[in-house]
Amino acid sequence: MLADPPRLSKWCETLRKCGRALRDIFYGMTTYEMVRDLRKERARLEHLFVLITMGDLLGIPILPPYYSLRLLPYVVPCIEGWRCCLLRERDLTDLTDFET
């Protein structure tokens, strides 16, 4: 006997959702940590670059403003994250991630 098509498609959808959830859980257990580490590495470099080019924002005159202004359009997207990261109060338990 053939299954009712709407019910079959509902089952297929549920199965697809389960598959997606399983895939996400696996991603969380495996490569997610790698992605986080890479993001952190990129952010560190970006923050260093912003500090060098936009140090004036913190009162650190590092590059002549001319070059800072030339670089400004490229740096603008990073400034908000940089400020968040830099101004956040850190505790010792912040300094090392407790992830394996």
According to CB under 8 A, which residues from 48 to 67 bind other proteins? none
* Nearest CB to other proteins, comparing residues 65 and 77: 77
- How many Å apart are CA 58 and CA 5, to the nearest integer? 64
Exposure pattern of 23-37 as b/e (b: 16+ CB <10 Å)?
eeeeeeeeeeeeeee
Question: Applying CB under 8 A, does 100 fall inside the site for other proteins?
Answer: yes
Question: Applying CB under 8 A, does 16 fall inside the site for other proteins?
Answer: no
Question: Applying CB under 8 A, does 39 fall inside the site for other proteins?
Answer: yes
Q: 3-class SS at 97?
A: coil
Stretch that binds other proteins, among 8-16, 55-63, 65-73, 83-91 (CB under 8 A): 83-91
- How many Å apart are CA 10 and CA 4, to the nearest integer? 10
Tell me which residues touch other proteins (CB under 8 A). Answer: 20-21, 24-34, 36-41, 43, 81, 84-85, 88-89, 91-100
